[in-house]
Chain A
Amino acid sequence: MKDVLLIALTHVTTAIRERVTLFWFLVFPVFMLVVLSIIFGQIGQEGEIRFDIALIDQDRAAPAARDFSPMIVEVFRELATPQLPGQEPLFALHEPPDGEDPEGFVEREVTALRRGRRAAVVVIPAGFGDAVLRAISAPMGEEPEPARLAVYMSRTDTASQMASEIVAQVLSEIDREILIRSGRFDPSREIATETVWLGRSDAETRYIDFLLPGVILMGFFANGLFGVPGAILFNRDRRILRRYWVTPMSVPRFLAGFSLGHLALCGLQFALLFLLGRYGFGATISFAAPIPFLTLALAAVTFLSFGFLIASLARTANAGMAVANVLNMPMMFLSGMFFPIVGLPSFLLAVVYVNPVSYLVSGLRASVGVESGPFSPALLVGVPLGWIALSMLVAARRLKWDVER
């Protein structure tokens, strides 16, 4: 037993001492957790994202009775002011300096929009106040021509699309306020809008709760895909394995120690990522139940056996790493680990359905109550078990331990 434990300890120590291994096992999953939480966890949340918006009021000269444009300018200026200390305002507002030619300003800002330096350019045209007045003076039941505000945006730019949608929402609120003040809309007769969340609770799942199981499995996956064939094949190439066989160590005992070391590494990854997710990003999901624990164990064993499969298919360590690199991205991104799998063509769906990561990600999320998932419980367990059996069968037949000299 001591020799098995020593092999396990050697595997863990080597992995931790090797900086590159450490990067892929621990630093990269942590990086993904941090970056994706920062990027996707805050979409739509004021105080976290900021858009550069240009605003010009070309109707400043309108008489006081029709001066609707200052109201709009004021709202935008308010949104460009931080609501709380340390928070970023929603907009960084760019307005023309006094005396600048309005047409020149619009041209300059639209060019900046084309160049990705502005997310939207809002133009309140001359005569806007008159148009608003006409719209609110029209007899009820008629559909008068509304006053139009031009919002320049770029459809190639996701940030611009989002910014223009937010601008549209802001203007919709201003429109509602104008209609209420002019007596054309009665807020007391307004039909209420309710939001119903279908899922684990009566609130939307927090992004970190969705992301954390995926990142934990990504760490396990990298560990199995790169760590297992890397350790076996490099040791074989450098003739380190041979040295074991001149000792009383047998291949099965080496294998037991190596697998134990792999599981210990997975445990280490899990502990670090879970603690970071929980205390760094406020994740609320709990893995302290038999089903999440068993799913994590199933994932660790599946990726371990998958690593053996790759090691058995490659002749050298470099070839093994190449195979692992080829499989890494497609298996990771065609599993729903980070992004939902919807609307894929059949040839890519086939990859999703044979990919064991799809079932493990879905199973782990379902076990912590984050996803109902498209797969039945039998498939969630059966497909990874099938991969374990297949991998072990191939590895038992093909993997060379360099025992013969």
Chain B
Amino acid sequence: MTALRALLVSESRVLLRDRTTFFFTFAFPLIFVLIFGFVMGGFGNVSRSTMGLFVSSDADRPTLDETLDAAASMALEEYSSLEEMQEAVTDRRIDFALHWDGASLRFLYDANRVQENFAFAQVAAGLSSDFNLRRQGAASAVSVEPIPVGEIASAGWFQLVLPGILAFGILSSGLFAVSGHLTAMKERKVLDRLIVTPMPPLALLVAIAAVRLAVAYVSTLITLFVGMGVFGLRYDVDWIRFAVLVACATVGTMGIGTIIALVVRRPSSASNVANALAIVMMFLAGIYFPVEFMPSFLRAISAGLPLTHLANAMRYATGVMDMAEAEFWAITAAFVGIAALLFPILARYVVRPLRQ
């Protein structure tokens, strides 16, 4: 018990003194949230877009105005010349534009906005269809009534991304605890010195896990509250599920870090491999891009990644996605299972001097 207490104190001091680890644990998820929140927050969101309008013929003008009034989801900016409007599109002062010459509806897009034009074209298709119906005095016989579902019906894209970032933070922290921190101790021969003391290897692992756990709670909470404070995101967090998930996922991902530490022989390479794996998982786990956009083979890979399930469980715990209760606890138990299976291996094969 004395050994554990001493190790807890020393591990906490190491973490607080190590500016790099400190930065990656606390500031890195925040940078992710701020950059992605601002850069991608309004991405493809037509309700925040502006359409330019240039009318060169008065034919059907009232019908056009009625159509545009009915589609009040975006801002409208009228121009007095076509050239001025084209320049506004290419300079990205407006998102796309409509030119009505009495004979055709010409929608103008910046050819280089390859990631957003799809959304603008959908708005244009709706406007065109509505204008044609109104012009012939017809009205739709069939209409679509969208019914939003989910825990928070008014939630947006970034609301779903933030719990994914929390999950990614936990994964990185867990992976680096073993593949970065523990292997660095090995490389610096700190482990050699500890091993010759009466300290049981398990006490060291418990101390590292306890400190990482505390860090994971503080880090995820700071990130969550920044998301709520800066971007006005709302979460209905189930704190018990959140606490259990963070604890189980932290020890589980430490277990996954064991596999890296076992496979990669050189300690200094282990953290690099962990970093590379974490980034690859981040792109394939549906954190930023929906899995549905991927081809079937990538969807299959995504389904096998622990980060995919951790992110979904975190979305459930923060109330932005529904999940079967049994599935949530199965994911949580799977992380505990990974830890229970791999911690003895970690204690036996990783926590040992480099020279053995």
Contacts and interface: CB of A to CB of B under 8 A. Distances in A.
Contact of A88 (B36, B145, B296, B322): B296
Contacts of A329: 28, 31-32, 35
A173 to B, nearest CB: 9
A204 B147 contact: no
A339 B40 contact: yes
Interface string A114-148: 11100100000000000010011010111110111
B92 interface: yes
A179 B135 CA distance: 14
A132 B143 CA distance: 10
Given A159-B292, A165-B122, A194-B105, A115 B143 contact: no
Interface string B59-94: 000000000000000000000000000100111100
A159 B131 contact: no
Interface stretch (A149-157, A255-263, A286-294, A296-304): A149-157
Nearest to A176: B129
A51 B294 CA distance: 11
B42 A191 contact: no
B307 interface: no
Contacts of B198: none
B149 A348 contact: no
A119 B292 contact: yes
Contact of A132 (B24, B124, B139, B141): B141
Contacts of A159: 290-293
Interface stretch (B9-17, B151-159, B211-219, B243-251): B151-159
Interface string A46-60: 001111100000000
Interface of chain A, helix or strand or loop or mixed?
A: mixed
Interface in B1-55: 19-20, 23-24, 27-28, 31-32, 34-36, 38-43, 48
Interface residues of A, number: 111
Contacts of A204: 109, 111, 114, 117
A43 interface: yes
A40 B114 contact: yes
A65 interface: no
B232 interface: no
A23 B104 contact: no
A247 interface: no
Contact of A198 (B110, B116, B272): B110
A372 interface: yes
B321 interface: yes
A341 interface: yes
A370 B111 CA distance: 9
Given A146-B140, A156-B150, A175-B142, A196 B133 contact: no
Given A39-B293, A159-B290, A198-B110, A322 B19 contact: yes
Interface stretch (B202-210, B254-262, B273-281, B340-348): B273-281
A149 B144 contact: yes
A184 to B, nearest CB: 5
A201 B111 contact: yes
B140 A43 contact: no
B296 to A, nearest CB: 7
B156 A193 contact: no
B272 A43 contact: no
Contacts of A28: 276, 279
A345 B111 CA distance: 25
B229 interface: no
A20 B269 contact: yes
Contact of B295 (A48, A198, A343, A371): A48
Interface stretch (A205-213, A265-273, A385-393, A395-403): A205-213
A330 interface: yes
Contacts of B263: none
Interface of A: 19-20, 23-24, 28, 31-32, 35, 38-40, 42-44, 48-52, 68, 88, 110-111, 113-116, 119, 132, 135-136, 138, 140-144, 146-159, 161-165, 167-169, 171-172, 174-176, 178-179, 182, 184-186, 189-201, 203-207, 210, 318-319, 322, 325-326, 329-330, 333-334, 339-345, 348, 365, 370-372, 374
The 6 closest A-B pairs by CB, nearest first: A199-B111, A114-B322, A159-B292, A159-B290, A322-B20, A135-B141
Interface of B: 19-20, 23-24, 27-28, 31-32, 34-36, 38-43, 48, 86, 89-92, 99, 103-118, 121-122, 124-126, 128-129, 131-133, 135-157, 159-160, 269, 272-273, 276, 279-280, 283-284, 289-296, 298, 312, 320-324, 327
13 contacts: A31-B283, A32-B283, A50-B292, A52-B292, A88-B295, A114-B321, A159-B290, A178-B141, A186-B136, A191-B135, A192-B104, A196-B99, A199-B110
